[in-house]
Chains A and B, each alone.
Chain A
Amino acid sequence: SAPTQTASVSGSPGQSITISCTVSTSDIADDDSVSWYQQHPGKAPKVILYDVGHRPSGISDRFSGSRSANTAYLTISGLQADDEADYYCASYSNTLTFDWVFGGGTKLTVL
């Protein structure tokens, strides 16, 4: 089943926001197989976190990730106008079958 994300979140420049992603425990390969993607309108997605809290090269340290039980969190600190985008979490499962499932997405509005 698809991870569950809050539909929308908003914050003012400079503030911090957190987006949650609740995953079925049977849907993850291991406890850290959650990634996060940022997508601006009309653009391709871009990975911003993998294995819960690891940042690819070039991704700002304003983006951080954590996990508690079966919920992963994306925190964006020091909000900037360019952070306004859709954010998707994704889980990877290699238990019963190989499967990659995206959450429904969270629309971040920077006020």
Chain B
Amino acid sequence: QALLVESGGGVVQPGRSLRLSCAASGFNFNSSPMVWVRQAPGRGLEWMAFVSSDGTKKYYADSVKGRHTISRDNSRNSVFLQMDGLKVDDTAVYYCARGSSDWSYFDYWGQGTLVTVSS
């Protein structure tokens, strides 16, 4: 059974950094593209970042490009999101999810970790 568990969320001041982690199990992580998706309180879903299965291809939403960095460690079955220069608008639940083999949809999701950016 596929399982994704996010960690690293919390309360952080504007301008500071935070690193989210997502531990995967129950599926072949090494061959799975991974994404981060966020959801601000009371709002809809927003795709943030994508990393290919081998980590060589990375894509970002315009809203976080240049501030956030996605990475993965296939030896640890984990994907990460380094968030720098956090803004109040980055307050959200952050989900990691597995991408389908053709990259077109997201089939497994974690339960999310809450990031609150506040002074």
Contact = CB atoms under 8 A, between A and B. Distances in A.
Contact of B110 (A29, A44, A99, A104): A44
State the majority secondary structure of interface residues on B: strand
Nearest to B46: A102
A37 B45 contact: yes
Interface in B78-119: 95, 97, 100, 103-107, 109-112
A94 interface: yes
Contacts of A101: 47
Interface stretch (A15-23, A46-54, A67-75, A77-85): A46-54
A111 B106 CA distance: 30
B103 A47 contact: no
Nearest to A100: B47
A51 B59 contact: no
- The contact size tier of chain A is 20 to 34
A47 B106 contact: yes
B104 A46 contact: no
A45 interface: yes
A98 B59 contact: yes
Nearest to A101: B47
- Which 4 A-B pairs rank lowest in CB-CB distance, beginning with the nearest? A35-B105, A100-B47, A50-B105, A44-B109
Given A44-B111, A50-B105, A102-B46, 9 more contacts: A33-B104, A37-B106, A45-B37, A45-B95, A50-B107, A88-B44, A98-B59, A103-B44, A104-B44
Interface of B: 35, 37, 44-47, 50, 57, 59, 61, 95, 97, 100, 103-107, 109-112
